Chain A
Amino acid sequence: MKNTSEHLFEYCLRLGDTPLILGQRLAEWCGHGPILEEDIAMTNISLDCIGQARAFLTYAGEIEGKDRTEDDLAYFRNEREFRNLLITEQPNEDFAQTMLRQFLISAFHKHFYSELMRSADKTLSALAEKSLKEVNYHFRHSSEWLKRFGNGTEESRTRLMNAMDNLWRYTGDMFDMDETDKHLVECKIAADLDKIKTLWNKSVEEVFSEAGIDMPKDVFMMSGSRKGKHTEHLGHILAEMQSLARSFPGASW
């Protein structure tokens, strides 16, 4: 049985790893955006994500009490120790997939951080308030693109629907609650994901309706991020992200 502090460490890893991996994915667009403004937008969003990840991972290190820094946690953990949501590690593919992924995650974070702001843990509550301000921009930006894809050309709509086929099955993973979530919800530290799911569904439905697309039918939902069971993509991301820190430990510039 884990105690509250161990659960909190686990929870902070989830809060940190999700924006870390999403930020790393978005950064892959740097210099490759379809237009200059989007290149800047995606890297700006990436920067917000990395900033959020740093704060949550730093706090995770403090809770754990083993002197691990944000860098130790980001660069020296293996795939199975990562707790990011499965959807964050899915490939960028085309711009439609990147924006749909962003939208589904930002809609989640918008409600999640609003709820976490009321956490009994003062640090989590402050970081949630900070992150929420940023996520509101991400949500609005990605929503606007979804409406353009859906109401745009046959090509844009087809690409959006292909992305939906790829990504929708990873949305269930966002709302899985394990013993850590349940324990911390009881302590009034964590956000109740059942509640978030209802709000998320509503936001997603609203934007989909403006984009002229239907909510996808029920599909088999992938899960596993709570236990560190990832899709094949995470290993590749980590190989790239961690190679320098692992080849030259302690390197600085």
Chain B
Amino acid sequence: MKSKEEIWSILETIPDPEIPVISIVELGIARDVQIEGDKVVVCITPTYSGCPAMDAITHDIREKFAEEGIKNTEIKMIYSPVWTTDWIGEEAKKKLKAYGIAPPDKTSTDKSLITGKKKIIPCPRCGSDKTILVSQFGSTACKALYKCEECLEPFDYFKCH
């Protein structure tokens, strides 16, 4: 039987299906691991309620565990504590940026919903601050669509949440 640490290391090798440069652990989707006899229980939480990647993630965990010889797996969906982009670490944010996705700020610094003021999202390609919001709703539920007015490239922004 594997230890909790070993289970976490396996989870760290499972990429997010939609943002394959970071793992489901780095993204904060895998929340908890419990070992009950010969059963491994993994708790996962969705980024957004309707995130369609949750089924793929569940499938990927089961598949990876089966490869590792873990036969008895239970995957629990939990909603509390509620997922936040604050769980994405600095290392993972660098990976997002290198992948072309502007990483989220800390939620505590995002007052745009309250003040209505636009916040500056630097372009992940050229670093320019001259960017504009094209749509709050992007290619996936967790991202907004921006455009850089300097290099003219559109890019995804991982919404502060």
Kindly state whether residue B46 has any CB partner on chain A within 8 Å. yes
CB pair B135–A129 under 8 Å, yes or no, is no
Q: Which residues of A contact B82 (CB under 8 A)?
A: 126, 129-130, 133
Which interface class (under 10, 10 to 19, 20 to 34, 35 or more) fits B?
20 to 34
B108 to chain A, nearest CB (A): 14
Name the interface residues of B18-51: CB closer than 8 Å to any CB of A: 46, 48-51
Kindly state whether residue B145 has any CB partner on chain A within 8 Å. yes
Name the interface residues of B78-94: CB closer than 8 Å to any CB of A: 79-80, 82-83
CB pair B49–A134 under 8 Å, yes or no, is yes
Q: Which residues of A contact B137 (CB under 8 A)?
A: 37, 40-41, 44-45, 137, 141
A225 to chain B, nearest CB (A): 22
Q: Write the chain A residue with the least CB distance to B114.
A: A136
Name the interface residues of A48-94: CB closer than 8 Å to any CB of B: 48-52, 54-55
Number of interface residues of A (CB under 8 A): 28
Q: Using an 8 Å CB-CB cutoff, how does the interface string of A155-170 with B read, 1 for contact, 0 for none? A: 0000000000000000
CB pair A136–B134 under 8 Å, yes or no, is no
Kindly state whether residue B141 has any CB partner on chain A within 8 Å. yes
Partner of A129 from the list B80, B113, B134, B145 (CB cut-off 8 Å) is B80
Q: Which residues of B contact A54 (CB under 8 A)?
A: 49-50
- The distance in angstroms between the C-alpha atoms of A7 and B48, with both chains bound, is 28
Q: Contacts A50-B50, A52-B50 known; A127 to B136 CB distance under 8 Å?
A: no
A223 to chain B, nearest CB (A): 28
> Mostly helix, strand, loop or mixed at chain A's interface?
helix
CB pair B113–A130 under 8 Å, yes or no, is no
- The distance in angstroms between the C-alpha atoms of A110 and B76, with both chains bound, is 28
Q: Contacts A44-B137, A55-B79, A126-B80 known; A37 to B145 CB distance under 8 Å?
A: yes
Partner of B136 from the list A41, A49, A131 (CB cut-off 8 Å) is A41
Q: Which residues of A contact B80 (CB under 8 A)?
A: 122, 125-126, 129
Kindly state whether residue B100 has any CB partner on chain A within 8 Å. no
Kindly state whether residue A195 has any CB partner on chain B within 8 Å. no
Partner of A51 from the list B49, B113, B159 (CB cut-off 8 Å) is B49
Kindly state whether residue B138 has any CB partner on chain A within 8 Å. yes
Contact surface of B with A, Cβ cutoff 8 Å = 46, 48-52, 79-80, 82-83, 113, 134-139, 141, 145, 159, 161
Contact surface of A with B, Cβ cutoff 8 Å = 37-38, 40-41, 44-45, 47-52, 54-55, 122-123, 125-127, 129-131, 133-134, 136-137, 140-141
Q: Beyond the given A48-B50, A54-B50, could you list 5 further A-B residue pairs with CB under 8 A, ordered by the A residue number?
A: A37-B135, A38-B135, A44-B141, A48-B49, A52-B50
Q: What are 23 contact pairs spanning A and B, CB under 8 A?
A: A37-B135, A37-B137, A41-B137, A44-B137, A44-B138, A47-B52, A48-B50, A48-B141, A51-B50, A54-B50, A123-B79, A126-B80, A129-B80, A129-B82, A130-B49, A130-B83, A131-B49, A133-B82, A133-B161, A136-B113, A137-B159, A140-B136, A141-B137
